[in-house]
Amino acid sequence: MSIVISKEKTKDSLLQAVKEISGVDVSGCLQCKKCANGCPVTALVKVPPSEIIRRLQLNIGDSILKSDIIWMCASCETCFSRCPMQIDMAAVMDALRIISVKKNASKQKGNVPLFNRWFLKTVSIFGRTYDLGMIAAYKVGTSSYFQDANKFPMMLQKRKIALFPSFKADKKYIKKIFKK
């Protein structure tokens, strides 16, 4: 692994921001790479989890936010589960995603932030998820109308997806939580 350190170091340290959001201290990492070896997407990404930690330790700046793994990590928690230093890598990834969205540094395949927004939007409206509404909004946002289009008639016919949202949730309660 070779890490190029450029002069783009930001004034506000990314390492500090990650620690504040996640509560995780990455200084104990031994670079044993158990996280990278267990990670299901290691083979698919350019930067494995162990390297994310090393880059954070070196405080190389916001270029970390462009790493593909941030939006390819499936939150399976194998990394945390096997880490001998008990570093909660999954929480670090969450923090990087939150910062990435805030700084608008996340232009990646699949547009996961858009999906997240619509998922939470349906929850804030109905109190529960509404799959069809969320899928339709996501498809409009990503212009991916035809992807899986052949699956929906079969799913609707089998009633494997609900046609209407649920109206049984306590909406007042959910509005209060989202307001905070």
Q: What is d(CA 170, CA 124) in angstroms, rounded to the nearest whole number?
A: 11
CB 26 within 8 A of CB 20: no
Of 110, 122, 106, 102, the residue nearest 165 (C-alpha): 122
Q: Which range touches another protein (CB under 8 A), out of 4-12, 48-56, 57-65, 171-179? A: 171-179
**Least distance to another protein, CB of residue 124, Å:** 9
Q: Which is nearer to another protein, 4 or 163 (CB)?
A: 163
16 binds another protein (CB under 8 A): no
Length in residues, the chain: 180
x/- site string to another protein, residues 43 to 72, per CB under 8 A? -x--------------------------xx
109 binds another protein (CB under 8 A): yes
111 binds another protein (CB under 8 A): yes
Q: Is 118 exposed, middle or buried (0-12, 13-18, 19+ CB in 10 A)?
A: buried
Q: What is d(CA 124, CA 12) in angstroms, rounded to the nearest whole number?
A: 32
Q: How many Cβ atoms from other residues are within 10 Å of residue 124's Cβ?
A: 14
Q: Which is nearer to another protein, 7 or 109 (CB)?
A: 109
Max intra-chain CA distance, the chain: 58
Q: Which range touches another protein (CB under 8 A), out of 6-14, 29-37, 56-64, 147-155? A: 147-155
Helix (H, G, I), strand (E, B) or coil at 34: helix
Place of tokens 């929480």: 91
Report the interface residues with another protein, using CB under 8 A.
21-23, 40-41, 44, 71-72, 74-78, 80-81, 88, 90, 94, 97-98, 101, 109-113, 115-117, 119-120, 123, 127-129, 131, 135, 138, 147-148, 151, 154-155, 158-162, 166, 168-170, 173-174, 176-178, 180
